[in-house]
Chains A and B, each alone.
Chain A
Amino acid sequence: MLLSAILTGLVLGGTYALVAMGLTLQYGVARIMNLAYGDVIIAASFGAFVLFTALGINPLLGMLVVIPAGFVLSWLIYAVMLQPLARRSRDRGRLEGDSILATFGLLFVIQGVALVIFGAGFQSYSFLAVPVDILGTTIAANRLLAFVLAVVFGLGLWLMLTRTRFGTVIRAVAANPASAPLVGINVDSAARFAFALGGALAAAGGVVVSMYLTFSATMGVIFTMKALIVVIMGGVGNLMGALAAGLILGLVETLVASFIDPGLTLAATYLIFLAVLVIRPQGLFGKAAR
């Protein structure tokens, strides 16, 4: 029972981590507090849904279309809309205010377009909803996929950031955007790339999540907030932190549902989140705040 709950919780946490990783990159490196993040996820879900139901394209193959699309779209959003904001505001507080307003607008635009095209109703399809037996616990294959992707993306990106020259550039920009140019780093292009990469991760999350969650055009903000909780709890810009925080939240939710009361799951996750911040104001893996 306990083992089963732990496994189920880890798998659920995988979903949370997967959904949050892109945001931690976007916020940590590009310094954009992207309120439209969840709507990019929903857009990707719609993409996978259309490819699957209208064209019969398997969502796993669909990812080959949707993820690059997420990358390109986010690249464009950054280049057209956010880069001018980043350039004109040299202090962080102002960029934060501007990006909150601008991405708040973007959120409505993406949601509005989805509403016009797909209407407000629920969309759902089922893919890879097959049971997988792990140590006697039955887990849906599509949720397991989310967990595996979260771990693979998390570790892969972490290795890239810590082991490659390019990763060092990204980390330098994240750590100190003001002095990065002094060592010949193009901050603009690094931030743009990180933002686009975050968008690609959001798209990947959207495709996987659409296999087992019912979604509608107006649900993006739910993902944004969940992702923000995970990102902040893990420590801004820290991929391992996002992974750990996602898994912890999934575990807490499942353990509370199994052993205390399913009515308290969300209360417990928020309580854990608040407790972590009270004890470690910079998040689990974060450096000093700001």
Chain B
Amino acid sequence: MMKLLAALVALAALAFVPAFAGPYPLGLGIGILGYGVLATAWAMFSGPTRYISLATVAFFGLGAYTVAVLADVLPYPLVLLVAALVGLVVALIVGLATLRLAGIYFVIFTFGLTELVRQLVTYYEVNVTRTLGRYVFLPIGPEHIYWQLLALLAATLAIAFWVSRSRIGLALRVIGDDPDVASHLGVRITRTKLTLFSISCVIMTLAGAIQAPRWTYIEPSIVFNPTTSFLVVIMALLGGPNRLFGPLLGAIPLFLLFEWLSANFPNHYSIILGLLFIAIVFVLPNGVLAAGDSLWSRLTRKAVRP
């Protein structure tokens, strides 16, 4: 209960950031919130099931594109709703298609899927609308984007919290541990996986939709950039995908690290970043996932006892 209260206070405090922060800190805030939402949403599904998805940017990009296409036609809240629906439909299709896949096959499938979505969007734009770039001229300033992302992050954390406490979360962890056992226990694997996957993907779609007005100009190579998917995985793995705040705690330092490196070492950014990554893997001697794993084993023990 205290934790909930603390979270609410923190949230309220964060909502006031735009009132005194300059444009650059606000930009940082938007970036952190954006990745925080993506990483938390990613971990919601991929943490307990251990299915590493690289499709993050497919949903992110679909959200941004929905806004670009519909911004002039529909009122903004309706646009967001449509974006969420698009994300949901695609998530269901993808979820059903990937049911039988596991391990690395799932990873690369989701990557291929992202590229397919990007290719199809490109082909449609080129041959049907005869234009590739789209403009989003919406009267939505950075502070509005910040607030929307903050609200989305709060909702995401709340859902993640609810999932970890509910039957569905438990079922998901059993699936991640051993799908056979899960099915013997009567867990409806398909429905459980699909539900969580869809929730997670809808959140990613919304994250893309909310951030679209910040760029003005949108084209497939901008919004379907596969680097985003990789970064989200790395952030979540680093912070521990099985803890509620883990992905967020991975996203914040990594995001600031990227920012600091690219500002101070613009010409050696790659090398330093790479060495740091390698160092991180070695400095955490039991593996980056260890923290999450130990918690995970504690959770299962607790869960199995009653």
Which chain A residues have a beta carbon within 8 Å of chain B's beta carbons? 27, 33, 81, 84-85, 88-89, 93-94, 96-98, 100-102, 104-113, 115-116, 221, 225, 228-229, 231-232, 236, 263-264, 266-267, 270-271, 273-274, 277-278, 281-283, 289-290
Q: Decide if B281 touches A98 in the complex (CB within 8 Å).
A: yes
Q: Decide if A105 touches B275 in the complex (CB within 8 Å).
A: yes
Q: Decide if A263 touches B123 in the complex (CB within 8 Å).
A: yes
Cross-chain contact of A102 among B52, B102, B281 (Cβ < 8 A)? B281
Whole-angstrom distance from the CB of B104 to the nearest CB of chain A? 6
Given A116-B268, A281-B100, A289-B105: A267 in contact with B275 (beta carbons within 8 A)? no
Note all chain B residues with C-beta closer than 8 A to A110. Answer: 274
Q: Decide if A88 touches B103 in the complex (CB within 8 Å).
A: no
Q: Decide if A283 touches B277 in the complex (CB within 8 Å).
A: no
Whole-angstrom distance from the CB of B177 to the nearest CB of chain A? 11
A112 to B230, CA, bound (A): 18
Q: Decide if A277 touches B109 in the complex (CB within 8 Å).
A: yes
Q: Decide if B102 touches A289 in the complex (CB within 8 Å).
A: yes
Given A101-B277, A105-B276: A232 in contact with B270 (beta carbons within 8 A)? no
Whole-angstrom distance from the CB of A120 to the nearest CB of chain B? 10
Q: Decide if B102 touches A112 in the complex (CB within 8 Å).
A: no
Pick the most buried of A85, A109, A264: most chain B CB atoms within 10 A of its CB: A109
In chain B, residues 251-306, which have Cβ atoms closer than 8 Å to a Cβ of chain A?
Answer: 267-282, 285-290, 293
Q: Decide if B287 touches A112 in the complex (CB within 8 Å).
A: no
Q: Decide if B97 touches A116 in the complex (CB within 8 Å).
A: no
Q: Decide if A112 touches B277 in the complex (CB within 8 Å).
A: no
Note all chain A residues with C-beta closer than 8 A to B280. Answer: 101, 105
A107 to B276, CA, bound (A): 12
A137 to B33, CA, bound (A): 55
Q: Decide if A274 touches B97 in the complex (CB within 8 Å).
A: yes
Cross-chain contact of A112 among B101, B112, B274, B281 (Cβ < 8 A)? B274
Q: Decide if A98 touches B126 in the complex (CB within 8 Å).
A: no
Whole-angstrom distance from the CB of B180 to the nearest CB of chain A? 12
Note all chain B residues with C-beta closer than 8 A to A109. Answer: 270-271, 274-275, 278
Q: Decide if B288 touches A98 in the complex (CB within 8 Å).
A: yes
Q: Decide if A232 touches B105 in the complex (CB within 8 Å).
A: yes
Q: Is the interface of A mostly helix, strand, loop or mixed?
A: helix
Count how many chain B residues have C-beta atoms less than 8 Å from C-beta atoms of the other chain.
Answer: 51
Q: Decide if B288 touches A278 in the complex (CB within 8 Å).
A: no
Given A89-B287, A232-B108, A267-B116: A108 in contact with B277 (beta carbons within 8 A)? yes
Whole-angstrom distance from the CB of A129 to the nearest CB of chain B? 29
A269 to B95, CA, bound (A): 21
In chain B, residues 191-242, which have Cβ atoms closer than 8 Å to a Cβ of chain A?
Answer: 226, 230, 233-234, 237-238
Whole-angstrom distance from the CB of B272 to the nearest CB of chain A? 8
Q: Decide if B101 touches A94 in the complex (CB within 8 Å).
A: no
Given A108-B274, A112-B268: A274 in contact with B286 (beta carbons within 8 A)? no
Q: Decide if A282 touches B105 in the complex (CB within 8 Å).
A: yes
Note all chain A residues with C-beta closer than 8 A to B289. Answer: 93-94, 97-98
In chain B, residues 14-48, which have Cβ atoms closer than 8 Å to a Cβ of chain A?
Answer: none
Whole-angstrom distance from the CB of B151 to the nearest CB of chain A? 31
Cross-chain contact of B115 among A84, A105, A236, A266 (Cβ < 8 A)? A266
Q: Decide if B274 touches A271 in the complex (CB within 8 Å).
A: no
A33 to B54, CA, bound (A): 14
Residue in B closest to A263 when the chains form the complex, CB atoms: B123
Interface presence of B60 (CB below 8 A): no
Q: Decide if A225 touches B226 in the complex (CB within 8 Å).
A: yes
Q: Decide if A105 touches B111 in the complex (CB within 8 Å).
A: no
Whole-angstrom distance from the CB of A6 to the nearest CB of chain B? 23
Q: Decide if A101 touches B237 in the complex (CB within 8 Å).
A: yes
Q: Decide if B237 touches A274 in the complex (CB within 8 Å).
A: no
Whole-angstrom distance from the CB of B275 to the nearest CB of chain A? 6
Note all chain A residues with C-beta closer than 8 A to B101. Answer: 277, 281, 289
Of the A-B pairs whose beta carbons lie under 8 Å apart in the complex, a sample of 6, sorted by A's number, is A85-B281, A88-B286, A96-B104, A105-B278, A225-B115, A231-B108
Other A-B pairs, 12, CB within 8 Å; known A101-B280, A105-B276, A108-B277: A94-B293, A96-B103, A96-B104, A100-B52, A101-B281, A104-B234, A105-B274, A105-B281, A111-B274, A221-B226, A273-B112, A277-B112
Interface presence of B127 (CB below 8 A): yes
Interface string of B174-200 (1 = CB under 8 A from A): 000000000000000000000000000
Residue in A closest to B121 when the chains form the complex, CB atoms: A267
A101 to B274, CA, bound (A): 10
Q: Decide if A100 touches B104 in the complex (CB within 8 Å).
A: no
